[in-house]
Amino acid sequence: MAYELKQQDLEALLIGGAFFGSGGGGTIESARHLASRFQKGDYYPADTVRVVSVDEAAAAQDGDAVMVAYLGAPEAINTAQYPLGPVTAALKIKARLDHQGRKLAYIAPPESGALGFVVACLVAAKLGIAVLDADGAGRAVPSLPMLTYAAHKIDPRPAFLVSQGGLCVELDVTPRAGSHGDADHQRDVSAIVEQMIRPVVTDPEFEQYGGLAMWVMKPSQLQDALPVRGTLTRALELGRAVNGGTIASAAQMSRYLADHCGIKAYTLAAQGEFKSASVNTAGGFDVGQIVLHAGPADYTVLYQNESLMVWDSRRPAPVLLAPDSVAYFVEGSGQSVFTNGDLVTGKGKLNPAVTGRKVTLLAWEAEPELRAPGGLIVSSFLQVLASPLGYLGPYVPVGALQKLTEGGVA
């Protein structure tokens, strides 16, 4: 059922989004920065945004949806005060639809993440339309072909990338056949668009990030394009539980995930401490690693914006592989949920706010749509695991990796 969010709801939304973002999806800092300015005034025409389910939007038949996001290095996006790039990109899509006698009625988040959810809500509020209670992955991802919009062959044309200063680039890959190409072409073109976008955001005008609007969906396409649903509400409710003190330990978080989200969480590392962090920002990505020490082992989380692989220093193979998700839960006084970008300071050092506090690594298996054998999404994750992370094996779900570890095989 549809409902409305106010500015005070965005804090819970971004905390929950950050937890489900697998270390990425933009930083909590950047999402908070944007959310703090959500009030009726010169920029926003209203101080509420309407959230609508996919089923409701598909049944209403009252207009199209488009995916809108920031794309680039999380550290760079921290400086944004208003979602100028994403709003302008969405307005470009709206103008194109208006010209065709169509209507833009919904904004779709790209992924589960603090920034992805907040930006989708703010763009919808700015345009006076609704945001869909779903996203393209149920976690955050480092590249466009990893989203269900690409896997379900939604036409990526038109697509606009806009800088905070208003420089607009339309990404138009000419189809091989017909006006929109065949189904296989739509899968291929998402990878091509990704390859085009990354060099663009490195231009000084873009400063490592930009606002992206692409994948326009008619009402009849929403069910297929967005099989991962209820994720905005899931993040909102978990964020409220964390902020309200209902979830104050990793054990309580695991129980909450099982009871309220249907998620079986595996504990990769329990009650450890952060040891070190490093990051390098290039090509629109923050690439680095977070190391924590728990018991007799060091655990290294490798990330490319999002966490993609975890190593246990005692094991000859990884203990987690994307697209499965991993999250940090930090106990003690202060914030308990962090993204990779929030854990690393601007100088590439570990955030002192987590020094000496107990941290647990929780992991769970990806949505079924992300791990379909031979599918575009899992294949895209394997490409990133291979380069730049150097993993050349197959995807193995975290549950199976845990059984192998318990049996002494891995």
- Confidence check: pLDDT of 183 > 80: no
* 15-23 mean pLDDT: 98
* 318-322 mean pLDDT: 98
* 287-293 mean pLDDT: 93
pLDDT of amino acid 410: 39
Q: Are residues 288 and 382 in the same domain?
A: yes
- Confidence check: pLDDT of 207 > 70: yes
Q: Are residues 253 and 227 in the same domain?
A: no
Q: Are residues 172 and 63 in the same domain?
A: yes
* 197-214 mean pLDDT: 89
Q: Are residues 177 and 216 in the same domain?
A: yes
Q: Is the dihedral of CA 393, 396, 400, 406 positive or negative?
A: positive
Q: Are residues 54 and 153 in the same domain?
A: yes
Amino acid at 278: S
Q: Are residues 77 and 210 in the same domain?
A: yes
pLDDT bracket for residue 180 (50, 70, 90): low
Could you give the maximum distance between any two Cα atoms of the chain, in Å? Answer: 64
User: Is residue 114 within a helix (H) or strand (E), and if so which, with residue range?
Assistant: helix 114-127
| pLDDT above 90 as % of the chain | 79
- Confidence check: pLDDT of 8 > 60: yes
CATH number for the domain that contains residue 393: 2.40.390.10
Is residue 151 included in any domain, yes or no?
Answer: yes
pLDDT bracket for residue 198 (50, 70, 90): confident
Q: In whole numbers, what is the pLDDT of the chain averaged over residues?
A: 92
Q: 107 with 131: CB under 8 angstroms? A: yes
Output the CA torsion 188→192→195→198 (10° steps).
Answer: -110
Nearest to 252 by CA among 236, 237, 268, 241: 241
- Confidence check: pLDDT of 408 > 50: no
Which of 198, 231, 264 corresponds to the end of one domain?
Answer: 231
Q: What is the pLDDT of residues 40-81, one digit of tens each?
A: 999 999 999 999 999 999 999 999 999 999 988 777 888 889
pLDDT bracket for residue 219 (50, 70, 90): very high
Map 282-350 to HEC letters.
Answer: ECCEEEEEEEEEECCEEEEEEEECEEEEEEECCCCCCCEECCCEEEEEECCCCCCCCCHHHHECCCCCE
Q: Are residues 54 and 177 in the same domain?
A: yes
* 358-387 mean pLDDT: 95
Query: Tokens for 405?
Result: 């570890």
pLDDT of amino acid 12: 98
Is residue 237 included in any domain, yes or no?
Answer: no
Residues spanned by the domain of 137? 3-231
Dihedral pair phi/psi, residue 216, rounded to 5°:
-75, 130
pLDDT bracket for residue 82 (50, 70, 90): very high
pLDDT of amino acid 409: 41
Name which of 177-181, 254-258, 307-311, 375-379 the model is least confident about.
177-181
CA–CA dist 242, 390 (Å, integer)? 36
pLDDT bracket for residue 184 (50, 70, 90): low
Is residue 241 included in any domain, yes or no?
Answer: no
- Overall number of domains in the chain: 2
- Confidence check: pLDDT of 196 > 70: yes
Q: Are residues 177 and 90 in the same domain?
A: yes
Query: Tokens for 356?
Result: 């000496």
Is residue 239 included in any domain, yes or no?
Answer: no
Q: 339 with 25: CB under 8 angstroms? A: yes
- Confidence check: pLDDT of 249 > 70: yes
**68 bridge partner residues:** 213
Q: Are residues 277 and 344 in the same domain?
A: yes
